[in-house]
């Protein structure tokens, strides 16, 4: 048994910075000698029982230590008799995630690979150039539930009810975050996410922040920025905000837990420069209080307890 988690799963949420993190993981896997297991399947997040069993079997037999990454809703390994791995993930403001996905599907990113044409070859021109305000305000399927209920199923799991917007899926997602995820960070504070990953999983993420800040890597990362994004009208954003109320309840819950974790390890959140967009569109990270001096619980002991989950 290795003295650190030897099975890590990053079931990455779409359009939440995962391509940036995977670029880092490719560098880190060579640097630190762990097995990076990736998947070419990007559009199948919901699996049948047999598909779950097959995927869990394939993951569990990978050479350890491994880090497996794929866009897939939470898998309960213990349900099928496997050892439950350590899960990590990153989420972002739900409206921002939706808009990034909306324009990425249509126009891709700065890499110039015409990925959007490959992903959506059958998209009609009128659909590709559909105005985002029309999509939202006229209630097109792409801009209404259940398609807007996107982040929570990644944490709720494979149960059919996890795809139904409501309290059941929300509470189950929160429970899984608490019981099965070592860390769920927020993209708006990515550098702090990387700092904590380096602290919690040094055998995988040591030096990740220095690599991320390297100008050459930043140049690569900038190529994955979605192009032709436009900001919807305040009215349209308010409509989205109301439709995504469960997503926001989950996002703020995760954000609160993340800030508590940052305080525990002495990291401060800093208020960013005001955004020209509506305040509710990109909630500014809160400024946390001074770090907690918790003498009753040793930080390393706390990490050991997480590793034993």
- CA-CA-CA-CA torsion for 39, 44, 50, 55, nearest 10 degrees? 20
pLDDT of residue 269: 62
Residue with tokens 């905000």: 241
Q: How far apart are CA 83 and CA 76, in angstroms?
A: 9
The per-residue pLDDT for 105 is 85
Query: Of 32, 42, 71, 116, which one is the catalytic site residue?
Result: 71
The neighbouring-strand residues paired with 186 are 91
E-only strand ranges, the chain: 7-10, 35-38, 66-69, 86-91, 181-186
What strands lie across the sheet with 86-91, from one edge to the other? Answer: 35-38, 66-69, 7-10, 86-91, 181-186
Residue 309, pLDDT score: 47
Q: Which residues of the chain have pLDDT under 50?
A: 1, 113, 271, 273-297, 299, 302, 306-307, 309
pLDDT digits (tens, 9 = 90+) for 9-30: 999 999 999 999 999 999 999 9
3-state helix, strand, coil in the chain (%, to 5): 50, 10, 40
Task: Please give the Cα distance from 54 to 51 (Å, whole number).
Answer: 5
Cα–Cα distance measured from residue 119 to residue 101, given in angstroms and rounded to the nearest whole number: 12
What's the pTM?
0.84
What DSSP string describes 96-157?
A: HHHHHHHHHHHH-BTT-S-HHHHH-TT--HHHHT--HHHHHHTT-GGGSTTTT--TTHHHH-
> Do 182 and 86 meet the contact criterion of CB atoms below 8 Å apart?
yes
pLDDT of residue 308: 53
Q: Residue 265: is it exposed, middle or buried by C-beta count within 10 angstroms (0-12/13-18/19+)?
A: middle
List Cβ neighbours of 140 (8 Å cut-off, separation of 6 or more).
Answer: 130, 134
According to DSSP, the residues that pair with 69 across neighbouring strands are 10, 38
Q: What is the pLDDT of residue 198?
A: 95
Domains and CATH numbers, the chain: 5-265 (3.40.50.300)
pLDDT of residue 146: 93
Q: How far is it, in rounded angstroms, from Cα 76 to Cα 56?
A: 9
Q: Which pLDDT value is given to residue 43?
A: 86
Query: Which candidate, 207, 222, 237, 73, places its Cα nearest to that of 151?
Result: 73
Active site residue 270: no
């Amino acid at each position: 048994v290795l003295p650190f988690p030897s099975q890590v799963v990053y079931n990455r949420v779409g359009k939440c910075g995962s391509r940036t993190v995977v670029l880092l993981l490719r560098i880190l896997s060579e640097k630190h000698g762990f097995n990076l297991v990736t998947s070419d399947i990007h559009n199948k997040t919901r699996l049948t029982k047999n598909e779950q069993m097959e995927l869990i079997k394939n993951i569990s037999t990978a050479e350890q230590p491994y880090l497996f990454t794929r866009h897939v809703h939470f898998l309960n390994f213990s349900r099928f008799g496997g050892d439950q791995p350590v899960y990590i993930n990153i989420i972002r403001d739900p409206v921002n995630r939706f808009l990034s996905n909306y324009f990425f599907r249509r126009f891709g990113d700065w890499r110039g690979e015409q990925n959007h044409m490959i992903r959506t070859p059958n998209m009609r021109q009128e659909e590709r150039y559909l105005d985002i305000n029309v999509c939202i305000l006229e209630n097109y399927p792409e801009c209404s539930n259940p398609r807007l209920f996107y982040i929570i199923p990644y944490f709720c799991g494979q149960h059919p009810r996890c795809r139904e917007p409501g309290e059941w899926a929300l509470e189950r997602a929160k429970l899984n975050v608490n019981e099965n995820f070592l860390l769920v960070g927020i993209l708006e504070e990515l550098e702090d996410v990387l700092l904590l990953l380096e602290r919690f999983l040094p055998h995988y993420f040591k030096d990740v922040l220095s690599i991320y800040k390297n100008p050459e890597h930043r140049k690569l990362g900038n190529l994955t920025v979605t192009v032709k994004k436009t900001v919807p009208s305040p009215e349209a954003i308010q409509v989205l905000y109301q439709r995504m109320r469960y997503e926001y309840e989950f996002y703020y819950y995760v954000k609160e837990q993340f800030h508590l974790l940052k305080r525990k390890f002495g990291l401060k959140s800093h208020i960013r420069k005001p955004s020209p967009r509506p305040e509710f569109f990109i909630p500014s990270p809160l400024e946390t209080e001074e770090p907690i001096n918790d003498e009753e619980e040793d930080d390393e002991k706390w990490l050991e307890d997480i590793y034993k989950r």
